[in-house]
Structure 1
Amino acid sequence: MELSEPLAVVTATHWIPEYRQKPADLEPSRRPADPGYTALAVSESCSGPELAVLAGRVALTAAGWDGADVGLLLYAWSHYQGHDFWSPAHFVAAGVGANSALPLGIQQMCNGGAAAVQAAATFLRGDPRCRRALVGTGDRFAEPGFHRWTGDYGVAYGDAGTAVLLSTEPDARPRLWLHAIATVAAPQLEAMTRGDDPAAPAPRWLRGAVDVRTTKKAFLRTLPRNRYAEIERAKLTEVITTALADAGLTGDDPRLARVILPRFHADALDSGYRPLVAELTPADTVDFGRDTGHLGAGDLAAGLADLLDQHLLAPGEYALVLSAGVGFSWSCAVVSRPVPTERGGDST
């Protein structure tokens, strides 16, 4: 998505539980052979939407916003939200005091946060009456319904809520500028998390826990060897080059300083993402996920938050923030840190 002018990212925050579960904490029979992470963030009580409310409140306070002034609230998630027949987006809106906002749920699995940012940008640029948006995510991968370490291949799952505040107000004080966000999809891979299972009448009807490994095995048996890797490589190349072009950049632009990777297993990053990124840009790759795990729909927003918290961009420098999710879809956001002379830019 090429923006006619940059969009203000007023702030980005995450609420990640303090408790970290390490492989050594697991029963020997349940420890993964190759963990890929030092620890996973585990919420011992809060649901995904509750984590999102906590992150949203922090973001609003940091920005000096009142929830009542938020016109749009987009909320994304990838796993069970705590109730069977319910709108978590409305819960999050009420929880942050955004009772005049339009709450919309975005179900794009683990790429949901990126899809929500892209949708919010479309709303903000398309409706002059909507000037402030909150994009939130929340996921909790709790036992017994989800085995966070061993329920999937290529990723282990941590819990978190995130919030990104976007604005088109002339006096907005952005901590980042959003220059472009691109998304590409490969719907032919949708059966990766369906396998050959029949449609069930209720959640977890066929199995007591989510079992992505079984569905992936079933689906991959139908593909030629290495076909998935070929598709992923082509789509990642497309989404990164498209986002760069939409932002008016090239991969060798000296202002491009960082590439924030999704919080996937170390092997998945080392074998796929890092080599490809290195072909497209010399910018440094950054992996924030080793002691949190993959945060469901929250990887892109959490990447923005850590990019800010760790002061990884100098004024005028750019970063790419990557996200992906089953379905499949891949996203790439292009952001920069404002320079002191830019309108309302954050110089901290």
Structure 2
Amino acid sequence: MTMRWKNLHLRGVGAALGELVAVEDLETESTLRGVTSQRAVSIAHGSTGMDLAVRAGRNALASMAITTTGALPVPDLHFHAAIWRGSRGIDFWSRAAYVRSRLGLPAGRGIATELNAMSNSLVGGIDISARVLAGSPDLDTVLLTGGETFGPPAFDHLTADHGIAYGDGGSALILGRQPGLARVVATSSYTDPTLEQLHRGNDRFLPAGTTELGIERIRERKRQYTDAVGADSITRRNHDGVRAVIDEALHDAGRQLDQLR
């Protein structure tokens, strides 16, 4: 799905990180350094993913104020993302409403809800927000927030996955019809649902009455799926999806790859 947008703008942007800790100072540094050459990872001691999302949201609202005359508009919709249970803090409650409340945004029309497309959640949220705004002339702005915090033993920042460091952080975007920091020209999205098993592996669903979730075995689950279908199959499907959205977004934007800076 692709689209060239005529009246979509980035109104605000914000981020929040923890302390940048040198990989050498972490007990598990030898498992990552040779794979990614990463020198540090963000670790937010004493903070939750919700805390970081709120901080990022405040920064996004502050950046929107730079290009806004008069009172800041209250976002009509709010999409929040937190994909890891340790970042959500508590189950069976509205994290989006919590972030909105802590940002001091009042009650009003529109919904505060959640997105989960794993690491594509907020990027996908941009595409969803653009389509909602394009088809809803009564809406003016959409707020996107996300926040994740990890930690051993349940989810080690460095060893939970293959060659990936999971840093603690929060991010926020505000999209709207009025000009702001930048114009969003085009977006594109693509889904290959067969790749969901890359994170699920052969695990069975937990029964409803489970009280102990234990350690996330991401490495093991990925290995199970890779052994079943082959690494080349996964790489090809990832490549096809990424290539498709790049080509389609550039086409709709009327740009060539070498024109991007």
TM range (shorter): 0.7 to 0.9
Q: Tell me which residue corresponds to 1:32.
A: 31
Q: Find 1:250's aligned residue among 236, 256, 259.
A: 256
Per-residue CA deviation, residues 91-134 of structure 1 (Å, 9 max, x unaligned), is 11111122324212001111101111111111211111110111
Unaligned runs of 5+ in 2: none
Paired with 2:58 and 2:253, the residues of 1 have a C-alpha distance of 31
Q: CA deviation at 1:177?
A: 0.8
Tell me: CA distance 1:38–1:202, structure 2 relative to 1, closer, same or farther (3 Å).
Answer: farther
Tell me: CA distance 1:4–1:35, structure 2 relative to 1, closer, same or farther (3 Å).
Answer: closer
Q: Find 1:144's aligned residue among 153, 158, 165.
A: 153
| Equivalent residues of 1:204, 1:210 under 8 A apart | no
Paired with 2:84 and 2:209, the residues of 1 have a C-alpha distance of 11
1:69 maps to amino acid: V
Unaligned runs of 5+ in 1: 258-348
Per-residue CA deviation, residues 55-112 of structure 1 (Å, 9 max, x unaligned), is 1112112222767722111111221210021121111111112232421200111110
Give the number of the structure with larger relative contact order, counting CA–CA contacts within 8 Å between residues 6 or more apart: 2
Q: TM-score, normalised by structure 1?
A: 0.67
Paired with 2:209 and 2:39, the residues of 1 have a C-alpha distance of 31
Is 2:181 the counterpart of 1:175?
yes
Is 2:74 the counterpart of 1:69?
yes
Paired with 1:70 and 1:230, the residues of 2 have a C-alpha distance of 39
Q: Tell me which residue corresponds to 1:127.
A: 136
Q: What is the DSSP-based 3-state SS (H/G/I as helix, E as strand, rest coil) of the residue aligned with 1:5?
A: coil
- 1:80-95 to structure 2, matched below 5 A, reads 80=85, 81-95=88-102
Q: What is the DSSP-based 3-state SS (H/G/I as helix, E as strand, rest coil) of the residue aligned with 2:4?
A: strand
Paired with 1:192 and 1:10, the residues of 2 have a C-alpha distance of 35
Is 2:88 the counterpart of 1:79?
no
Paired with 1:114 and 1:202, the residues of 2 have a C-alpha distance of 31
Q: Tell me which residue corresponds to 1:55.
A: 56
Instruction: Give the fraction of aligned pairs with identical amino acids, expressed as a percent.
Output: 26
Q: What is the DSSP-based 3-state SS (H/G/I as helix, E as strand, rest coil) of the residue aligned with 2:201?
A: coil
Q: Tell me which residue corresponds to 1:23.
A: 23
Paired with 1:238 and 1:203, the residues of 2 have a C-alpha distance of 42
Q: Find 1:103's aligned residue among 107, 112, 124.
A: 112
Tell me: CA distance 1:206–1:218, structure 2 relative to 1, closer, same or farther (3 Å).
Answer: farther
Q: Tell me which residue corresponds to 1:321.
A: none
Q: CA deviation at 1:154?
A: 3.2
| Equivalent residues of 1:51, 1:138 under 8 A apart | yes
Paired with 1:141 and 1:38, the residues of 2 have a C-alpha distance of 18
Q: CA deviation at 1:205?
A: 6.8
Q: Tell me which residue corresponds to 1:335.
A: none
Paired with 1:84 and 1:126, the residues of 2 have a C-alpha distance of 33
| Equivalent residues of 2:13, 2:59 under 8 A apart | no
Is 2:239 the counterpart of 1:233?
yes
Is 2:223 the counterpart of 1:217?
yes
| Equivalent residues of 2:146, 2:170 under 8 A apart | yes
Q: How many residues align?
A: 250
Instruction: Give the aligned CA root-mean-square deviation in angstroms.
Output: 2.2
Q: CA deviation at 1:234?
A: 1.6
Per-residue CA deviation, residues 288-346 of structure 1 (Å, 9 max, x unaligned), is xxxxxxxxxxxxxxxxxxxxxxxxxxxxxxxxxxxxxxxxxxxxxxxxxxxxxxxxxxx
Per-residue CA deviation, residues 141-174 of structure 1 (Å, 9 max, x unaligned), is 12232111010113110111111111113xx3x2
| Equivalent residues of 2:10, 2:174 under 8 A apart | yes
Is 2:174 the counterpart of 1:165?
yes
Is 2:208 the counterpart of 1:188?
no
Q: Tell me which residue corresponds to 1:9.
A: 10
